Amino acid sequence: AQSVTQPDIHITVSEGASLELRCNYSYGATPYLFWYVQSPGQGLQLLLKYFSGDTLVQGIKGFEAEFKRSQSSFNLRKPSVHWSDAAEYFCAVGGTSYGKLTFGQGTILTVHP
Amino acid sequence: NAGVTQTPKFRILKIGQSMTLQCTQDMNHNYMYWYRQDPGMGLKLIYYSVGAGITDKGEVPNGYNVSRSTTEDFPLRLELAAPSQTSVYFCASRTDRSYEQYFGPGTRLTVT
């Protein structure tokens, strides 16, 4: 069965600092991996995705993520955080089984000025 | 192009009442999904559909029903509302070729 773990429930960073959100997954084959962001009271917006190829993927809003098969990880990074990045971030894994996604528990990001 | 729309945005139900959460997409996507989101739990898949007339259970289907009579609509039915169904419900859809899902804005449901 597929699963996703986001070890950090809540992360606080200062504006301008770098950010890394952790994601570990369990999946029997090559996974499809996603990061979504959810602002309060809003739906989920896709930040980036990994299907195959280059293991470093670029997304919107200056985010990037690196797929590391040996570590079963897909960590999200941003070199300089902006106050508008405060939100909840979800990592998700999916595959060919009707494209069903399994989500992690989410990481809430707080940005201090 | 409105994407995925959901109605209502908010609803309060009494225990035992029933209701239908509406979901419509205008992107001609065959695949549609219903999730529920509870604090600290991420999103859990309730039901999904791979096309009109075809639906199947997800991870947490108990207490819910779905139908898919058209490509555009994928309503979620709660027959006998229970407090455990208090949650935020998201509908999503995707194309046949890509696994990324597009989400609606959600429906916040409270059962008291």
Q: For residue range B13-54, list pLDDT tens digits in order.
A: 999 999 999 999 999 999 999 999 998 889 999 999 999 999
Per-residue pLDDT reduced to its tens digit, A26-68: 987 778 999 999 998 888 999 999 988 889 999 999 999 999 9
In this prediction, residue B63 carries a pLDDT of 96
| H-assigned helices in A12-113 | none
The SS3 call for residue B97 is coil
Rounded CA-CA distance A9/A84 in Å is: 19
Q: Under an 8 A CB cutoff, do B106 and A99 touch? A: no
Q: Identify the bridge partners of residue B12 per DSSP, sorted by sequence position.
A: B110
Query: What's chain A's average pLDDT?
Result: 93
Q: Residue B86 has which token pair?
A: 């208090």
| C-alpha distance from B16 to closest chain A C-alpha (Å) | 27
* Mutate which: A98, A102, A105, vs B, most B CBs within 10 A: A98
Does residue A101 have a pLDDT over 80? yes
Which has more confidence, B89 or B99?
B89
pLDDT score recorded for residue B40: 85
Query: Which of B92, B100, B103 is nearest residue A49 as measured by Cβ atoms?
Result: B100
Checking if the pLDDT of A96 tops 70, the result is no
Q: What is the DSSP string of B8-44?
A: -SEEEE-TT--EEEEEEESS--SEEEEEEE-TTS-EE
Question: Across the interface, which of B35, B42, B56 has its CB nearest the CB of A105?
Answer: B42
* A113 preceded by a cis bond (ω within 30 of 0): no
Judge whether B55 and B68 are in contact, CB under 8 Å: yes
Residue B80 pLDDT class (50, 70, 90 cuts): very high
Residue A1 pLDDT grade (very low, low, confident, very high; cuts 50, 70, 90): confident
Report the share of chain A in percent with pLDDT over 90: 79
Which of A34, A90, A94 is facing B42, going by the closest CB pair? A90
- pLDDT-based confidence at residue A83 (cuts at 50, 70, 90): very high
pLDDT of residue A74: 97
Partner B contacted by A39 (CB < 8 A): no
Residue A97 has pLDDT above 90, yes or no: no
Q: Which residues pair with A68 in a beta bridge?
A: A73
Chain A residues inside the 8 Å CB shell of B106: 42-43
B33–A103 C-beta distance less than 8 A: no
